[in-house]
Amino acid sequence: EIVLTQSPGTLSLSPGERATLSCRASQSVSSSYLAWYQQKPGQAPRLLIYGTSSRATGIPDRFSGSGSGTDFTLTISRLEPEDFAVYYCHHYGTSPWTFGQGTKVEIK
């Protein structure tokens, strides 16, 4: 099983700042099958990024994904008030599919 470890656990930032979230895999992950999700309280997760770097429909271009092998990054270039949430990385290539434990982006 591929274990995804996200860091930091919590990121305290102000609106307008840049957020950099890390996802490290215990073994190499196919870049084609690495996604990022945003989840707000009481809501289902929303797909932001698939295939490491492709934005899903309707996702603003301030969200970008990068990485390869075992190290992946989600960057939010300038935080908007609605971006404060929990973010999960997810690999959906080899079985079993797994999620990271999440990074909470909170208002500083």
Contact residues for another protein (CB under 8 A)? 1, 33, 35, 37, 39, 43-47, 50-51, 54, 56-57, 88, 90, 92, 95-102
Distances in Å between the Cα of 32 and the Cα atoms of 27, 44, 76, 91 are: 15, 23, 21, 9
Continuous segment of H or E residues that includes residue 98: strand 98-99
Beta carbon nearer to another protein, 16 or 58? 58
How many Å from the N-terminal Cα to the C-terminal Cα in the chain? 35
Output 44 or 61, the one with its CB closest to another protein.
Answer: 44
Comparing CB distances to another protein, the nearer of 81 and 96 is 96
Identify which of 43, 48, 49, 39 has the alpha carbon closest to the alpha carbon of residue 104. Answer: 39
Shortest reach from residue 30's CB to another protein, in Å: 11
Q: For 57-80, give the DSSP string.
A: TT--TTEEEEEETTEEEEEESS--
Q: Which is closer to another protein, CB of 42 or CB of 81?
A: 42
Q: How far is the CB of 50 from another protein (least distance, A)?
A: 4
CB of 44 to another protein, least distance (A): 4
